[in-house]
Amino acid sequence: MDTADKSKAAIHEFFIQFLQQKEEYESRISASYLEDIRKHIGAEFSLNMTELHTIACIGEQEPINVTSIAEKMNLSKGNTSKIASKLLKAGWVRKAQLNDNKKEVYFRLTPAGKKLFAAHDELHTLEKQRMYEFLGRYSDAELELIKRLFADMVDFYR
- Listed in sequence order, the residues at least 6 apart from 37 whose beta carbon sits closer than 8 Å to its beta carbon are 43, 115, 116, 119
pLDDT at 47 over 80: no
Give the chain's domains with CATH numbers: 3-156 (1.10.10.10)
Distance, in Å, from the CA atom of 123 to the CA atom of 131, rounded to the nearest integer, reads 12
Q: What percent of the chain has pLDDT over 90?
A: 46
pLDDT digits (tens, 9 = 90+) for 63-120: 999 999 999 999 999 999 999 999 999 899 999 887 777 678 999 999 989 988 988 8
pTM (global) more than 0.85: no
